Amino acid sequence: MDYKFKAEVKQVLDIVVNSLYTDKEIFVRELVSNASDASSKARYAALAAGQQAPELEIKITTDKDANTFTIEDSGCGMSADELLENLGTIAHSGSKAFVNALKENKGQLPEGLIGQFGVGFYSVFMVAEKVDVYTKADGSNAQHWSCDGSEDFTIEDCDKPERGTKIVVKLKGDYKEFASKEPVKAIVEKYSAFVDFPVIIDGEKLQAKQAIWLKSKSELTKEQYEDFYKYFTGSYAAPTDYLHFKSDAPLEMSALIYIPAENPEAMGWGKCQCQVSLYCKKVLIDPEPKNFFPEWMRFVKGVVDSSDIPLNISRESMQDSGLTAKIGRLVQKKFIKHLAETLKNDPKKYDEFFKKFGKFIKEGASIDFENKGELAKLLRFESSLFQKGQYVSLGDYIGRIKPDQKSIYCAFGPDRNAIESAPYIEAFKARGIEVLYLFEPIDTFMIGNIGEYDGKRFENIDSAEIKLEDIPEKSDPNPMPEDKVKELKDWVKQTLGDEVKEVLTKGRLVDSPAAVLNADSISPQMRAMLKAMNDSPLPKPVVDFEINTKSPVIKNLAALKESSPELAKLVLEQIFDNALLSAGLLENTTEMSKRLNEILAQIKA
């Protein structure tokens, strides 16, 4: 019998074929999904009737000579009425409303309409010259539906003894690749690898793969988690850790998130990309959804599956970005909580994780303002109170802080030896004040953005703003007279001029002869970053200069000032440059090298 699509249905068909789908291969995914749904209905009906579940499979056949793609299932099939309703009206309940909504939105998909029209089948007309559907439901005559993509279609009785549906697609000349086994196999393995029923392509049964993320954790072993990770990522190494959870409220979802064995960015492979694939009921929607997770989570891999995800008609993109963002935030918070539990229950395991992936946690604490408080709790640092390789948290530091201490003190440097060789740390060690050691370039940015923790602000120990409590001074058998100290201090200021803001003779130093204290709003580390990012010269750093009058070096300088003023000037400038170098503030070493040669030339045998 001949039929015609209603006018609005023809409009929907035109939109589906010409506008919604950007990737023609999607029709394979849609037909496999429909076959899987029909098979699930048949299995459920059998079980509901107290019968044994039938053996069900999905068969795909390609024919290069006939230029056809055929898919067949032994699922529930359709009666004549169901065929007319399902394939003759394109989601009979809403076609006209859909067209009207498109008109109101000037052709753009309106929010809230996703998944309401069931037009996935019609994606086949992107590649089809003609489509024939042969179907039979239990207790009904077999039916044949045929359409060439125009406004006309036919439905008539046919000979099909078995229950199920067979779809024969006569391909257009431009789409011959879908009449070949290998391209079709690749599409099925990409999008439909986890459907519930075996898929057979040209006689080859594809390897069955389980969507283990939908199973209960109690059903799975560590080996199954690791095997899935290796399959999913193509890795030979087992993951460092994984998080598997399900949620029913506020959103229905399942997630399996892995932490890989190694950090690819640390191995010099460039910036990595988040490999968390988004599924809807085991069907791949997006292998790498954009902006699903924050940038700092780009090192994780895995699967998120939610039947609540609203999709556009093509299922190629998420319609409701607000809801998908909510799903991403839920997974993100679960992941942060998982890391916090690991830190609490297995600190050694967490420290091993942090050694490899701590940079990402630091990045998150710097830029993820919604979660920076929780991420700050996950940070780990070396400390002046513990040996190299031992880590402490900010919470640990706060737990040991002195009652009147208002700051968290930090020292920046390329490594522990550099920090402990600099003059700044000695004042804090002498007072028993713990200092956190920060070695990475991101640390300056991170500390600046966090600002404070538990009401204590972060301070760099080279800051001139820090005022430390007085402690008994180290005994000096031959102290400089006060008038000589003042005279030396005035001479230093006069000699260095505007190179220094202030000259100090007390405060930080215990053994070192001199140090510059940063009185600038820009830290040395931030200065180095700005210089690397900008060719324009930065203004000179503003520093205070502290000299230790108990040091033999400074005492000799005072004596040299009297006996050889010109040489004393060179020595002072050299001491000052040494201090700048130690602080990371000496930008030009040429003058320093030249001056050192002048000093050496004046030394007499």
Nearest in space to 86 (alpha carbons), one of 59, 57, 120, 60: 120
Residue 379 is predicted with a pLDDT of 97
Q: Are residues 286 and 400 in the same domain?
A: no
pLDDT band, very low/low/confident/very high, at 117 (cuts 50, 70, 90): very low
DSSP lists the bridge partners of residue 244 as: 256
Do the domain assignments include residue 326?
yes
Do the domain assignments include residue 43?
yes
Q: Are residues 175 and 246 in the same domain?
A: no
212-247 pLDDT tens trace: 999 999 999 999 999 999 999 989 999 999 999 999
Residue 401 is predicted with a pLDDT of 92
Q: Can you tell me the distance from the alpha carbon of 434 to that of 398, in angstroms, rounded to the nearest whole number? A: 10
pLDDT at 313 over 50: no
- List Cβ neighbours of 318 (8 Å cut-off, separation of 6 or more): 278, 285, 286, 289, 309, 310, 311, 312, 324
Tokens 């954009």 — which residue? 290
Q: Are residues 147 and 9 in the same domain?
A: yes
Give the type of residue at 307.
S
Nearest in space to 286 (alpha carbons), one of 246, 329, 316, 321: 316
Q: Are 411 and 461 in contact (CB under 8 A)?
A: yes
pLDDT at 191 over 60: yes
Q: Are residues 241 and 287 in the same domain?
A: yes
6-65 pLDDT tens trace: 656 666 677 666 666 667 898 999 899 889 988 989 998 888 888 887 889 999 999 999
First to last CA, the chain: 118
Concatenating the DSSP letter of every residue in 129-176 gives: EEEEEEEE-TTS--EEEEE-SSSEEEEEE----SSEEEEEEEE-GGGG
Do the domain assignments include residue 576?
yes
Please provide residue 418's backbone torsions phi and psi, each rounded to the nearest 5 degrees. Answer: -65, -40
Question: Of 159, 176, 205, which residue is a domain's last?
Answer: 205
369-415 pLDDT tens trace: 999 999 999 999 999 999 999 999 999 999 999 888 999 999 999 99
Q: Are residues 217 and 334 in the same domain?
A: yes
Tokens 């000799």 — which residue? 556
Q: Are residues 420 and 395 in the same domain?
A: yes
Query: How much helix, strand and coil, in percent to the nearest 5, is found in the chain?
Result: 40, 20, 40
Q: Are residues 332 and 241 in the same domain?
A: yes
Q: Are residues 50 and 106 in the same domain?
A: yes
Question: What is the average pLDDT value for the chain, to the nearest integer?
Answer: 86
Residue 167 is predicted with a pLDDT of 96
Instruction: Give the pair of three-digit tokens for residue 576.
Output: 């000052």
- List Cβ neighbours of 322 (8 Å cut-off, separation of 6 or more): none
Rg (CA), the chain: 36
Can the peptide bond before residue 250 be classed as cis, meaning omega within 30 degrees of 0? yes
Do the domain assignments include residue 99?
yes
Q: Are residues 249 and 393 in the same domain?
A: no
pLDDT band, very low/low/confident/very high, at 521 (cuts 50, 70, 90): low
Q: Are 348 and 259 in contact (CB under 8 A)?
A: no
Q: Are residues 197 and 217 in the same domain?
A: no
Domains held by the chain: number? 4
- List Cβ neighbours of 358 (8 Å cut-off, separation of 6 or more): 379, 380
CA dihedral 377, 382, 383, 385 (to 10 degrees): 110
Q: Which domain holds residue 189?
A: 2-205
pLDDT band, very low/low/confident/very high, at 519 (cuts 50, 70, 90): confident
Residue 464 is predicted with a pLDDT of 87
Q: Are 378 and 419 in contact (CB under 8 A)?
A: no
> Which CATH number goes with the domain that contains 26?
3.30.565.10
pLDDT at 93 over 50: no
Residue 83 is predicted with a pLDDT of 85
Q: Are residues 294 and 318 in the same domain?
A: yes
pLDDT at 277 over 70: yes
pLDDT at 586 over 80: yes
Q: Give the H/E segment covering residue 230.
A: helix 222-233
Nearest in space to 213 (alpha carbons), one of 224, 223, 205: 224
pLDDT band, very low/low/confident/very high, at 326 (cuts 50, 70, 90): confident
Pairing of strands 128-136, 143-147: antiparallel
Q: Can you tell me the distance from the alpha carbon of 445 to that of 442, in angstroms, rounded to the nearest whole number? A: 5
Instruction: Give mean pLDDT, residues 284-292.
Output: 84
Q: Are residues 410 and 519 in the same domain?
A: no
Tokens 């050889």 — which residue? 564
- Please state, in angstroms and as integers, the Cα–Cα distance from residue 167 to each residue in 88, 130, 458, following that order: 15, 11, 68
Q: Are 32 and 195 in contact (CB under 8 A)?
A: yes
Q: Can you tell me the distance from the alpha carbon of 465 to that of 502, in angstroms, rounded to the nearest whole number? A: 12
pTM for this model (two decimals): 0.80
Do the domain assignments include residue 16?
yes
